[in-house]
Structure 1
Amino acid sequence: MKIEITARETIKPSSPTPQSLREFKLSLIDQLTPPVYVSTLLFYSSINGGTNNQFERSEKLKKSFSDTLTLFYPLAGKTVDNITIDCSDYGALYVEARVDCALSEFLQQANWDQLGEFIPTKVESTEETVGFVSVVQVSFFDCGGIAIAISISHKLADAATAAFAMRCWAVTTFGSTDAAEAVVPLYNSAEIFPPRRFSAAGVPPLVDFKKEKLPIKRLVFEASKVAALKALAVSESVEQPTRAESVTALIWKCALNVARSNSGVSRPSILTRAVNIRRKIEPPLPDNSVGNLVWFYTAEKDESETELKGLVREIRDKLKVFDKNYLKMLQQEDTFKAMTEYLKVAATQMMRNDIEFYICTSWCNIPLYDIDFGWGRPVWVTMASGNMKNVIKMMDTNKGDGSIEAWVVLSEQDMYLFERDPELLAYASFNPSVLDT
């Protein structure tokens, strides 16, 4: 498969941003978020099996993206410091590419290295897209299929915001007049978590990108296997484990077991999980609230062996503590102190050799498969992953039946054993064809 970039241009909002909105304030969480990209990639099958309308579709996508930028004007801005985005309509980078194969051929056995060619910028990119808050790539397959990727600076967007922006773009392209879909972005996160001036050097980010290339593997947990995991995870304190809790616990357990096998040492482990706090804070925020409205909590596992239900119980218990105590503290006390202290402790733990540290993000229940640009639901939606060790990312599959797709990044040594772990293989399949899932 060969992907050739055929065009690059800057797309600006179709209507000028009012002078009163030119200075967009980041929230404190935005400020503390590392300068990386959140990338979402959607694949759509061919329309009428042909490519005759490629130019027409291209022009329609560019126009609708320009219209969308009028609502999402910070996406066309420029980050000038760690407090504001200058929304003077600099524009977003728009890239087009041609793929010399059929979409079905690629999806038959999706390859991570090739997948990255559909995404306009690496997660940790700081060079090619300097100055652009958002970057889009539209790739046209020979068969008429399309891949659409959007990368947004994590300084402005979490997964929910990226999905919302993509959905609004799709609705604008499709021309839907459904009032339920015509939702406008709400920019209020800086009011809830006001920004402040501080030295970035004193706040270590919770990222550690590696120079050596790490293996990234895709796993699929079918709905029946997820249901079996949930049943196995039931305990007196967790009567109804969630899908994400159950799958996270299994991956954590198996990853930790192979790490111990390779090192010959039993180490305590920490799992950091990202939490969408929109519905958890008081008063709750709607889903169209733009920004980084996520924070983290940690679950811990000592050196002893623990069954799946024990790990799920630990994950749930620490979430309860986060909801009851920590989240209130973030809103009522010194938010900056609480957040920076958490990041300092987590960064220190991540660097220690006597702790197995894992980071987990779940996009499950974020509606991505209903994003329709006018040619139906996507056949596959996936995400980008940076070159960072011990990361677990999960999302729903295209079936919509409760199945889960996970991307796992481990060291070369750990991954060798991980993808051969009998307990893991009893519930998960490694990189099955997207056309079969």
Structure 2
Amino acid sequence: MYNLSSSSLSKLKDRIVSTNPQIQNPSRIEVATALIHKCGVDVSMAKSGAFRPTVLFHVMNLRPPIPFNTIGNATCYFSTRAMSIDKTTLPNYVGELQKAKQQIRYELKDMNTKELALHAIEKIKEIVNIANEDVFDIYFCTSLCTFGSHKIDFGWGSPLRVTQVKHPTKNKFMFLDDPSGEGINVLITLTEADMLLFQNNKELLEFASPVVESSLLGSTLSLNVELSDVKSKL
């Protein structure tokens, strides 16, 4: 897991906008997505010595257009692609992501619930077809930012860390709010060989830092001891 602080995200936004003024008001998720995707492509090129077309599948919440109280995984995929190495710049990634978001919103805005479900299924079929073609390096990303995960309290106070259980899908990026609510933590799933290259990427380390777990482990151990003491007194 890596953390992009609020100041790092602002620095990243400024660099992208100054490089391409046509990029308007990029969000923190857009610039963070561009950075992590670009670093993933850098790893692929370092391994093979050549560029390989890349597609990034994004997961979007379908609430709205469907009601916010809808139960279940009401989500849909959309994608951004880079077909040549000159398209792997941070401004291009952000620009393509903004265009893709506008396009998917336009496609979905007049659909009813049944049509939305069928559209989501077709997007999943598209992923399967692209994977079977073996032309692209495929990445997946999703964001749980602004979901208020750090505000969940089961009676022990706010969590020190929010993450996801081990996920079998490689090349996956998941964005979550950090405890401050201003920065972003990103959980990255790569193969072991790819991670060895990824974690040394200079551009990544300029804006992101690894999340150190030792202090969190100490807090967890302390909590376990306190709970054990409580049980012994019952």
Calculate the TM-score normalised by the size of structure 1.
0.46
Kindly state the Cα deviation for residue 321 of structure 1 after the two structures are TM-superposed: 0.1
| CA displacement 1:131-157 (0-9 Å, x = unmatched) | xxxxxxxxxxxxxxxxxxxxxxxxxxx
One-letter code aligned to 2:7 = S
Alignment of 1:56-75 (within 5 A): none
Alignment of 1:281-360 (within 5 A): 281=65, 285-286=67-68, 288-305=69-86, 306-325=88-107, 327-328=108-109, 330-331=111-112, 334-335=115-116, 337-360=118-141
Q: Which has the higher contact order (CA 8 A, sep 6+)?
A: 2
Question: Residue 412 of structure 1 corresponds to which residue in structure 2?
Answer: 192
Residues 330 and 338 in structure 1, CA contact (< 8 A), matched pair in contact too: no
Question: Residue 422 of structure 1 corresponds to which residue in structure 2?
Answer: 202
Alignment of 1:199-278 (within 5 A): 218-234=1-17, 235-278=20-63
CA shift in 2, pair 1:267/1:333, >3 Å: same
Question: Residue 403 of structure 1 corresponds to which residue in structure 2?
Answer: 183
- Return the alpha-carbon distance in structure 2 between the equivalents of residues 248 and 434 of structure 1: 27
Residues 178 and 185 in structure 2, CA contact (< 8 A), matched pair in contact too: yes
| 3-state SS of 2:50 partner | coil
Residues 371 and 378 in structure 1, CA contact (< 8 A), matched pair in contact too: yes
One-letter code aligned to 2:5 = E
One-letter code aligned to 2:6 = A
Residues 362 and 395 in structure 1, CA contact (< 8 A), matched pair in contact too: yes
Runs of at least 4 residues off by over 6 Å: none
Residues 380 and 434 in structure 1, CA contact (< 8 A), matched pair in contact too: no
| CA displacement 1:333-382 (0-9 Å, x = unmatched) | 85555333322221121244321110001111111111123332222221
Calculate the TM-score normalised by the size of structure 2.
0.82
One-letter code aligned to 2:170 = K
Q: Provide the aligned length of Structure 1 versus Structure 2.
A: 213
Q: Which moved more, 1:337-346 or 1:256-265?
A: 337-346
Kindly state the Cα deviation for residue 328 of structure 1 after the two structures are TM-superposed: 3.4
- Return the alpha-carbon distance in structure 1 between the equivalents of residues 124 and 110 of structure 2: 15
Residues 222 and 403 in structure 1, CA contact (< 8 A), matched pair in contact too: yes
Kindly state the Cα deviation for residue 233 of structure 1 after the two structures are TM-superposed: 2.6
Residues 361 and 393 in structure 1, CA contact (< 8 A), matched pair in contact too: yes
| 3-state SS of 1:298 partner | strand
Kindly state the Cα deviation for residue 239 of structure 1 after the two structures are TM-superposed: 1.6
Larger helix share, 1 or 2: 2
| CA displacement 1:255-291 (0-9 Å, x = unmatched) | 0111012012211111000111213x1xx623x4321
| 3-state SS of 2:167 partner | coil
One-letter code aligned to 1:362 = S
**If you compute each CA radius of gyration, which structure gives the higher value, 1 or 2?**
1
Residues 54 and 138 in structure 2, CA contact (< 8 A), matched pair in contact too: yes
Question: Residue 167 of structure 2 corresponds to which residue in structure 1?
Answer: 386
Question: Residue 219 of structure 2 corresponds to which residue in structure 1?
Answer: none
| 3-state SS of 1:311 partner | helix
- Return the alpha-carbon distance in structure 2 between the equivalents of residues 434 and 399 of structure 1: 19
| CA displacement 1:159-210 (0-9 Å, x = unmatched) | xxxxxxxxxxxxxxxxxxxxxxxxxxxxxxxxxxxxxxxxxxxxxxxxxxxx
| 3-state SS of 1:395 partner | strand
- Return the alpha-carbon distance in structure 2 between the equivalents of residues 332 and 237 of structure 1: 35
Residues 163 and 187 in structure 2, CA contact (< 8 A), matched pair in contact too: no
CA shift in 2, pair 1:236/1:330, >3 Å: farther
